[in-house]
Structure 1
Amino acid sequence: MPQTLSILWGRWFAAIAIALVGGALAPLTVWAQLSPAIRDPFLSDPELTEPRDPLLPDLPVERRLSPLEKSALRDELDGLAAEAEQRYLEGQTDLAFAIWIREVRLRRILGYEAEIAALQRVGLRAWENSRADEVQLITLRLRQIQADLLAADPLDIELLEEIAAAFEILRDIDSAIAVYETLIVRAAQTNDRAERQRLLENLASLQQNWFRFPEAGKTYQTLLTSLGSNRDPIKEVEYLRGAIRNFQDAGDLRTAINYQQRLVRLYEETLQPRLIPPLTLAIARNYRNLDDLSQAQTFYMTTYSTALAQRQTDVASDALQDLADIYEALGRSEDVLYLYEQRLAVERLSYNGYGLMQTFDDLGQFYEAQGEPDTAIAAYKEALILADHLDHREAYFTLRLQQLLLNQGRLTLPPLEQHQASRVRALQKPEPWKGNSRIP
């Protein structure tokens, strides 16, 4: 390559490096603030614009590189990427990113697949290091590629999904979602139902992973609708669970309940009864959180009976405890005591020592709140026996009992004089020792 072109390239590369170093410490800015001196050279075609990079061969006429020349360039760029990585590990971050930007620009010559992979790799580094200018450059180039790919016929779906993945790496979730929405529209236009369903699943996963819960819930609604009359129980369960999970996380409990009840019916139709009690317990808790106590009580009782019939004692016990909390808040003490008796019976049925211990603890606290210390003491004693057997929480129950007994005057502390009389005598002056002999 002629010396003048090499000098021009060196000056341009130095300008880019200086500009990026200066911008690295600045906060993320809007696109309009990115200097054209940085933006335009990076977005230009490296094969056809000047100054020409020294890694490119000196050609007598303007033309694209041959396959052999591209293969040689690929090796050179791999070396450039390795050099940037080494500089980065040595702490020369600014120089490393200047080299990476140069490498990414030249990868364009090798085709979209190679370029997008490089944009993803360098984009991740740029985002991790809060490199505002590099993130903007990479985003702008991704949008150029996206526009080119969308203009092509047929669409390269795989590359467009890689574009979406690159946007996700840069935390530009709106752009990633927009890619999928465009692809979904195209799939619908071509009546490719399988492809549309796959893209919707990917979109729902993307939205959910980035906490777009209302949007993810709606995408699962669309997926459920897409099943139509050709029911696929496995897919239907998957989409119902996705809708429930996302509407629940979004705080839309009414909609979550609707899909939970629909899932209960599906489990009944597909003869999966063991999956129903945990689901009806979740429905009961949603109604409770909505202050719809009538519906909550109905579903708690349904959960208890069905769980007990299937010996799902943990679910039955949880339903009883939640229901007891409701009745206690309503001042229905007799109902609370009845539910605790049932809960004790359930825990005994399953030989659950820890569950029994916790139930006696809850029962003791209930009696304390009711002003019945004797009955509370009896409950705590039962809990202490179990705690001692399980070697778990003995100190807690001992303290509970001591406090109650002390309050009743049934546990007395020795008077201060007795403590003073029983004290160990004061320490005398220590006797000196040397080796194994006491010094007289």
Structure 2
Amino acid sequence: MLRRLIVIVTAAILSSNSLTLAADSQKPKPPDQFPPNPLEITTPDPLLPRLPKDKQPLTLEEQQNLEPALDALNREAAAKLQGGDQVTAFEIWNRELRLRRFLGSLAEVQALSRVGAIAWNQNNGDEVKYITQRLQAIQKQAESQKKTAQVDLELWRSLGQAYQNVRSSKEALEAYNQVLLVVRQQKDTVALVEILKTIGELDLSWFDYPKAAPVYEELLGLATSQGDAVNEVTYLQRLAYIYEQTKQPQQSLNVLNKLVEIYVSENNLTGIPELKLAIAANYESLAKKDPNLLLEAFKNYQEAYTTAWQLNEYVRAGDALQKLIALYHSQGQIDEALQVSQILVQTQEQSANFYGMMEAYDQIGQLYLERKDFPQALTAFKKGLELAQKLKHEEAYFNGQIEKISKAKL
């Protein structure tokens, strides 16, 4: 009886498994969620003169015969894209790219770079991914070869540019750093400057200011040693921007003061007011820890105003005066702030900046209010109202200020 029961149960289990297997076999298979990289398809292509066996490269003659056909594919793909058929265009380009590898790594990378730029501009994320994967494979191969052979600088430069075209900044910098290592060893100053400029610009484009700073410091040193005054100014300007973004006032001061020296030596005064404003702002920042540096801030704001006035740059002069007023006010020097405010009115009048004049009178009125000098405040706000009425702007504000003072006097 027990044996019979075991047989029945076993049969039921086997029957159940058979039904499950049958049901599974009838279920549709899920679609391939990750289609293969079209650049890795190995289907024989009629454009190939033969199937290379054992990875044997094509002969020079075979490569020369293949190249025009690939150029024709590129033109055909471009025409398809121009006609609005993006899908077919990239199918043709992918075929071209698969075949380009038979012309060598450099030719393939240059083609990947070209098509990668198009794919990025067309917002074709899949194609960008395929090209990036292929570039990574070529990079890996190049890294293994550099241990036994001389580094191919042109290939690494092309890899860097290709990665830039598909916006892979990390990989681009890895490629360019390979170039940098070699040109340092070769003591090739011209090539060193070029690759440093490329790396620096790439760092700046990705807002990586801490990495960009030493690159431009080195470029500055090279330009100074070579007497390259034009690029020296360019690198100083880049460094000034970098140190401003990274909130490093002392480093910024060093750079800005060098720029002032150069501009003064060249009698190029037009850039001085802006530099002096930046220098004063840095001293103001440093004065939070060392109050004695406030004198330098005052001095540079005043020099910014004086130079701008001499150059008839009244907008810049007004900016300097505004900074001075704010600094005097922060130190509780109301009389001095009022004196500079009166000069600001004249400066704005000189440049026919009526809106600026209106704001200056408002500022004067507020300063007089702090001193409880209501008559003077009232006069300032009334002048501000006259301008507001002409501009048809902020009339209600000035009327409100006048009304408040009138009530306070009562």
- The answer to whether structure 1 residue 64 and structure 2 residue 58 are counterparts is yes
- The answer to whether structure 1 residue 395 and structure 2 residue 396 are counterparts is no
Instruction: Please report how far the alpha carbon of residue 388 of structure 1 lies from its aligned counterpart in structure 2 after TM superposition.
Output: 4.4
1:283, 1:299 within 8 Å by CA — same for their partners in 2?
yes
Instruction: Please report how far the alpha carbon of residue 163 of structure 1 lies from its aligned counterpart in structure 2 after TM superposition.
Output: 1.4
Question: 2 CA distance for matches of 1:63 and 1:405?
Answer: 89
Distance 1:158 1:370, change over 3 A: farther
Instruction: Please report how far the alpha carbon of residue 399 of structure 1 lies from its aligned counterpart in structure 2 after TM superposition.
Output: 0.6
Instruction: Please report how far the alpha carbon of residue 198 of structure 1 lies from its aligned counterpart in structure 2 after TM superposition.
Output: 1.9
Question: 2 CA distance for matches of 1:334 and 1:269?
Answer: 37
**How do residues 134-213 of structure 1 correspond to structure 2 at under 5 angstroms?**
134=130, 136-144=132-140, 146-147=142-143, 157-213=153-209
Question: 2 CA distance for matches of 1:60 and 1:265?
Answer: 65
Instruction: Structure 1: state its 5+ residue gaps.
Output: 1-17, 25-37, 411-440
Match 1:238 to one of 234, 237, 240 = 234
Distance 1:195 1:68, change over 3 A: closer
Question: 1 CA distance for matches of 2:272 and 2:257?
Answer: 10
Residue aligned with 1:395, SS: coil
Question: 1 CA distance for matches of 2:76 and 2:225?
Answer: 56
Instruction: Please report how far the alpha carbon of residue 248 of structure 1 lies from its aligned counterpart in structure 2 after TM superposition.
Output: 1.4
Distance 1:147 1:81, change over 3 A: farther
2:74, 2:92 within 8 Å by CA — same for their partners in 1?
no
- After TM superposition, the score normalised by the length of structure 1 is 0.70
Question: 2 CA distance for matches of 1:153 and 1:174?
Answer: 25
The one-letter amino acid paired with 1:401 is F
Output one character per residue of 1:165-214: Cα deviation in whole Å (capped at 9) or x when no partner: 21123332122122222222322222221221122122211111111112
Question: 1 CA distance for matches of 2:100 and 2:65?
Answer: 13
RMSD: 3.8
Equivalent position of 1:327 in the other structure: 328
| Equivalent residues, number | 367
- The answer to whether structure 1 residue 53 and structure 2 residue 45 are counterparts is yes
Question: 2 CA distance for matches of 1:157 and 1:256?
Answer: 35
Question: 2 CA distance for matches of 1:79 and 1:310?
Answer: 56
The one-letter amino acid paired with 1:56 is L
Choose 173-182 or 276-285, whichever is displaced more: 173-182
Choose 328-337 or 182-191, whichever is displaced more: 182-191
Distance 1:21 1:353, change over 3 A: farther
Residue aligned with 2:58, SS: coil
Question: 2 CA distance for matches of 1:205 and 1:20?
Answer: 44
Question: 2 CA distance for matches of 1:331 and 1:289?
Answer: 18
Question: 1 CA distance for matches of 2:186 and 2:68?
Answer: 41
Instruction: Structure 2: state its 5+ residue gaps.
Output: 1-28
Equivalent position of 1:22 in the other structure: 33
Instruction: Please report how far the alpha carbon of residue 158 of structure 1 lies from its aligned counterpart in structure 2 after TM superposition.
Output: 4.6
2:280, 2:296 within 8 Å by CA — same for their partners in 1?
yes
Choose 299-308 or 144-153, whichever is displaced more: 144-153
Instruction: Please report how far the alpha carbon of residue 42 of structure 1 lies from its aligned counterpart in structure 2 after TM superposition.
Output: 5.3
- After TM superposition, the score normalised by the length of structure 2 is 0.75
1:267, 1:273 within 8 Å by CA — same for their partners in 2?
yes
The one-letter amino acid paired with 1:338 is Q
- The answer to whether structure 1 residue 107 and structure 2 residue 96 are counterparts is no
**How do residues 390-429 of structure 1 correspond to structure 2 at under 5 angstroms?**
392=391, 394-396=392-394, 398-407=395-404
Instruction: Please report how far the alpha carbon of residue 283 of structure 1 lies from its aligned counterpart in structure 2 after TM superposition.
Output: 0.9
Equivalent position of 1:304 in the other structure: 305
Question: 2 CA distance for matches of 1:76 and 1:264?
Answer: 56
Instruction: Please report how far the alpha carbon of residue 256 of structure 1 lies from its aligned counterpart in structure 2 after TM superposition.
Output: 1.3
2:193, 2:219 within 8 Å by CA — same for their partners in 1?
yes
Residue aligned with 1:211, SS: coil
**How do residues 304-383 of structure 1 correspond to structure 2 at under 5 angstroms?**
304-383=305-384
Question: 2 CA distance for matches of 1:366 and 1:258?
Answer: 36
